[in-house]
């Protein structure tokens, strides 16, 4: 086992992001309770080991869309927000019930762009996370899609998860997706594409591999994951992209198994989160952050 994988066992504050396509049965669009239960059980066990755990969960729009009876992904903003309004409550109710089965408390945190734009609101968010973690409570984070506009297009929560990791000073971010990790090319169209197990630095060559893809239920492609890796690693957290088809992969990651793609952290004092988000236009045109 390589040394950089062994170090994952010692990580104390872990952010786990799960995408929409990993929460539902692709054939029907209904929630996959078996996968959700396994996810909650593993996160609860990590919490029992004394680790701080934060879950960033997509899925509010997908769950709401199914509840409303829409067959296709909504395109209009108002309909997305309506789906989110229905889905957020149902999704959180499911998480609360599953966590309770393992005697674990969970709390919902809905973030908006304003949380990131204003220094005092980021500080308030950080304090809320800190208190919840001190109480042994697992925060479940999502964007406040019911009132947001730009946030719904933020990148299927990949970048939100990285921002949360930066805010809470996490030392590991795990992005669970429908792909095994970062490949040299799209493995669905190129059988010769190779999985890259380790990225020590995010250079132009790595960024060029971030070809956007799409799924029936998610919106985040590899480009958003590489952008998330830049935020997380510069903020002091290792980051792993791994396949969520088997939730046990979280345990394998924490055991040091060589799965997925590991991006090594390289804390950068010159890296400014707000500047980077504005440069990438994740905060909308003309955004001004107040520090």
Q: For residue 244, give the nearest of 167, 152, 157 by alpha carbon.
A: 157
Q: Domains (ranges, CATH) in the chain? A: 12-279 (3.40.1160.10)
pTM for this structure? 0.88
Q: Which two tokens stand for residue 255?
A: 């055991």
pLDDT of residue 274: 64
Our CA angle for 192, 260, 23, nearest 5°, is 105
pLDDT of residue 288: 40
Our CA angle for 156, 159, 160, nearest 5°, is 80
Containing H/E element for 71?
A: none
pLDDT of residue 275: 64
pLDDT of residue 276: 65
Residue range 179-237, pLDDT digits in tens: 899 998 878 788 888 999 999 988 888 888 775 444 433 444 788 899 899 999 999 99
Q: How would you list the strands of the sheet with 138-143, edge to edge? A: 106-111, 138-143, 52-57, 13-18, 172-177, 238-243, 261-263, 198-199
Listed as ranges, residues in the chain with pLDDT below 50 are 1, 151-155, 212-220, 285-291
């Amino acid at each position: 086992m390589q040394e950089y994988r062994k170090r994952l066992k010692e990580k104390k504050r872990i952010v786990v992001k799960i995408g929409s396509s990993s929460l539902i049965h692709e054939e029907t669009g209904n929630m996959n309770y078996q996968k959700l239960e396994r996810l909650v059980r593993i996160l609860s066990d990590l919490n029992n080991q004394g680790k701080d755990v934060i879950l960033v969960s997509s899925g509010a729009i997908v769950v709401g869309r199914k509840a409303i009876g829409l067959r296709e992904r909504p395109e209009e903003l108002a309909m997305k927000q309506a789906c989110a309004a229905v889905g957020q409550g149902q999704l959180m109710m499911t998480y609360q019930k599953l966590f309770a089965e393992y005697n674990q408390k969970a709390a919902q945190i809905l973030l908006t762009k304003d949380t990131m734009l204003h220094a005092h609101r980021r500080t308030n968010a950080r304090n809320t996370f800190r208190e919840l973690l001190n109480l042994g409570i697992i925060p479940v984070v999502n964007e406040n899609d019911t009132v947001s506009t730009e946030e719904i297009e933020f990148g299927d929560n990949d970048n939100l998860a990285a921002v949360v990791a930066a805010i809470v000073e996490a030392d590991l971010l795990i992005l669970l997706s429908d792909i095994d990790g970062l490949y040299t090319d799209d493995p669905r169209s190129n059988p010769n594409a190779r999985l890259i197990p380790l990225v020590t630095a995010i250079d132009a060559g790595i960024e060029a591999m971030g070809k956007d893809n799409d799924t029936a239920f998610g919106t985040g492609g590899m480009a958003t994951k590489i952008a998330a890796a830049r935020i997380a690693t510069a903020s002091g957290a290792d980051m792993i992209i791994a396949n969520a088809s088997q939730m046990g992969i979280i345990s394998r990651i924490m055991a040091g198994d060589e799965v997925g793609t590991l991006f090594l952290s390289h804390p950068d004092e010159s890296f400014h989160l707000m500047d980077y988000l504005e440069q990438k236009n994740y905060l909308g045109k003309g955004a001004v952050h107040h520090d």
